[in-house]
A and B are shown apart, each in its own frame.
Chain A
Amino acid sequence: MTEHERYEVNFFRPISQHAKANKKLISTLAIIWAVAVFGFHFLLIIITTPTPEQTLINFNSVWQQVVEDSSATHEMKQVFAKSLLMVLGKNIAVKEEHKSVLKESLSWSVYRMQADSIKPFYKTEPNSETIKGAIASIGLSAEGFDKIMRDLLPSSLVKVENSALSEKSKKALPEIMELYLIHNQSFLTDFKFLGFPFHYWYTAQFLLILFVLLCLTYAVLIDRMNREYEFIEET
């Protein structure tokens, strides 16, 4: 064995008992660390499935009739309008270009619910009267989520330009609704722990606790190991 080979340092080929013990400890902690962070997230990728919100199911059940078929009932139009408001209520999550499609579609659907004599009022900028009319026609109460939707209306209604929904909005709307109303879910996201969705608690709370514990474990064990192998660390 040459001098160079005698002093070779290689984590995977330790040549002293101390180095072997050190390798074992580091490997164990690194594996726990990697599995806890990346293993969990790979599991999450595998088991989550795109899951629609009830709002999307409601929207899909009525939208073609409301948009394409003049025989859509008033209730169908209400469901359609409420679905759009539910997405507009996501506010900061919704892109501006998507908001404009949603607002145009909502205003058009409200317009369609009005009596012919009132319709012209919706072809101007929204005012308190048209907003009141919209609230009544959509059937929004003053409580619960309905109240939030009522509060959204003033900033969600726009002037109706045409009696028919634009082709651009008609085409874009289903994709926009799917984008905001389908979420990656599984039992790990649905199960609650300490009030959190489990996956959120695991990442935001547990992993940080685990990191501190891994560091604590290493500090304790390496001190013990250095004493055992009589390693005086200071240079």
Chain B
Amino acid sequence: MTETSASEPQPAGFRWALWLPLALFIAFVALVFYGLVRPADRTIESALIGKPVPAFDLKPAIAARPGLSSAVYQGGKPRLLNIFASWCIPCAVEAPQLDELGKQGVAIDGIAIRDRSEDVSAFLQKNGNPFARIGADNVSAVQLALGSSGVPETFVIDGKGVIRYQHVGVIRPEHVPLILRELKEAGL
């Protein structure tokens, strides 16, 4: 076997095939390193963007503001829907930006997730209350219906009740122009 094969001419692709496993291995290592250095984005976007807001009706979270139902999104003007909670520390961080948006004439509604009325009141007293309406979602039912996966999250909903934009996480000061632009595009 060895004598006959040694005298035969080598196939053309022989050298190339020899290096192939090493090349595959290096490509695999490179892929792993790429994944380590640049981990995937774990933000979960709602799949409802561009679709109508699901029907819901929530009881008031505090006595000072009415509750929130999806009917308010048929009013012809875009509104912000902010999902927050008094136990959520980043929500306090974004409160000044919501106040700023409220001062610029944006209609803002809130949904308080798994929260007690007195805690919401204390939170709003401390951080400001830019909300026109606040619904109490004590079992995250509306949050799930909206495709929201945490607090804080903010939705831009246009005058016909279509969800136009979702902001996952804190609205930082540099995000205010972005939110305003999305509201303008939604018809503000």
Q: Bound pair: A and B?
A: no
Which A residues have a C-beta under 8 Å from some C-beta of B?
none
